[in-house]
Amino acid sequence: MPFGNTAIVILGASGDLAQRKLIPALNLIHGRLDGEGSFVVIGSGRTAFTDTAFRRRFDISPEFSKRLFYHRGIPGLKDFIAEKGSFDRVVFFMALPPKVYGSTAGELAAVGFGSEATLIIEKPFGSDLESAMKLDRELSGHFNESQIFRIDHYLAKEAVQNILVFRFANALFYPVWNSRYIESIQINAFETEGIGERAGYFDQAGIVRDMVQNHLMQLLCLITMEAPVSLDAEEIRAQKISVLKAVEIHDCARWQYEGYREEKGVAPGSTTETYAMLKLSINNFRWAGMPVYIRTGKALDRRGTEIGARFKRLPKLLFNRDGTIPPNRAIFKIQPAEGIIIDLATKIPGAGIDIATTNMAFCYRDSFAQEIPEAYQRLLLDAIKGDRTLFVSAEETEMSWRKLEPFLDAGEVRTYRRGKPPAPEWEVDWIDFDMYKDICG
C-alpha cells in the first residue's frame, strides 16, 4: 500500500523516547518513505528549538535532516504543517506521559485535526480496567478506533511474528498443537537489572501491570490462538480476543527483591511486586485442561524472554519402559538470542539401544545474513501505511485488564534475594530454560 503524502509529528520530541528510538528509527526507514510519497517529520514539544538546533540533537543522515522540523506546542501546528506541503495523512506519535493521552487528543481535535489524523500511543493503556475504559472513552470522543494505534513493541519483534508462521505454515506441528499432546505452556520474561531510573512509573505499576497485562498476554494469545481466515488485522485480533475471553486466571503470587524499598524514588514501605508467577488455563476445545504458567521479574540471575511448550510424556513402552525419556519440548527464544528449538529423543551410535536427548535449532543469526530490524522501524512503517496488524485494540486491552483485575495488588508480597529467583510456587514439571541459554546465543 502506498504511504501517500504524510506528515509525521512526534509530540514530546524533546524527550528520551524520541532521542533513543523514534528519530533513529525514522532515519533508518526514511528511504522507504521517500519512494512512496512526500513526507516530513515534525518534532513538537514545550522546549523552544530552531529547526537547526533540533536537528543537531540527533545523529542522522543529511538527507533525513532536510525532512526534519520543529514546532513548539500544539497551537499553530496545523498551519505549520500546511506550510510544509499538502499531506493526506498526519501521524501523531504521543511520546508523552500516558496521563495526558486523552487531553492531548482533545487538543489536537480542538485545533482542527480530524479524519486525516492517526494517533500512536505507548503502553500503559490505563492502570486497571476502569482507567483503561476511561482512556478509551476520552480517545474515542475525538477520534475513531481505526485512527488509534496502541503500540506493544513485543509484537514487532521478528521472533514473535515467527510464532504464527511456525504454527500455521508447517503442517508438521499444527495437528499436535493442543491439550491432547501438550502438557503445559510456560512463558518467562526475566531481567537482570532492577528498576533503574523508572521508580516514578514502576512503583505505581508493578510487574503484573508492566509486563503481564500487555506483552505476556499478547504472547499467550499468539501461541494459543486459532488460525485466522486471513492475515487481515481484524481477523487476527478476533482470534486473540477469543483466547482472552477463554482465559481463566487461577492464582497469582507476588514477590519483591530485597533492597527495592531503598531504590531512589520508591515509596517507603512499598508493596509493589517486582516478580510475579501466574497459573491460568484457556477454557476452549483446543486447550481445556492444560495449565499455562507465566513468570516475570527483575533483578534476576539471567535475562531472557521465552515460551516453552512441554509435551506429554510417552507411555512406558518400547524405548521408554523405565519412564526415563524426557518429554519433547518446543522452545521459542524471543530475546536476546532469537530462535526456535525442538527437543528430540535419538539413538546414541553403537551396538546398544541407548537414548539421548538432542535438539534441532533454528537460529536467526545463522539462517539470515541481514540484521534483525529494531521494533520501532516496523511499527512506524505499519502505522504510516495504516496496517493495524501489530497494534492492540481497545477490546483486547480492556479484556486483558478484566481478567487480571481480581489479582492486581492482591495477596502477600514476599521477598527474594537479588540475582536469585523465588522458588516455584506450585509443584510443576518446570522447563529448565537454562539448558538452552547457549543455543543461538
Instruction: Report the C-alpha gap between 43 and 115 in whole angstroms.
Output: 21
Distance from C-alpha of 168 to C-alpha of 227, rounded to nearest angstrom? 7
First to last CA, the chain: 36
Question: CA 33 from chain center: how many Å?
Answer: 25
Active-site amino acid positions:
215
C-alpha cell, 297: 521479574
Q: Are strands 413-416 and 182-190 parallel, antiparallel or unpaired?
A: unpaired
Sheet strands side by side (includes 275-282): 355-363, 339-347, 329-335, 304-311, 182-190, 291-297, 275-282, 247-257, 413-416
Strand 247-257 versus strand 275-282 pairing type: antiparallel
Instruction: Return the number of other C-beta atoms located less than 10 Å from residue 438's C-beta.
Output: 8
Nearest to 46 by CA among 22, 70, 25, 63: 70
Q: Residue 87, Cα to own-chain centre: how many angstroms?
A: 31
Neighbouring residues of 134: CB distance < 8 A, sequence distance ≥ 6:
102, 126
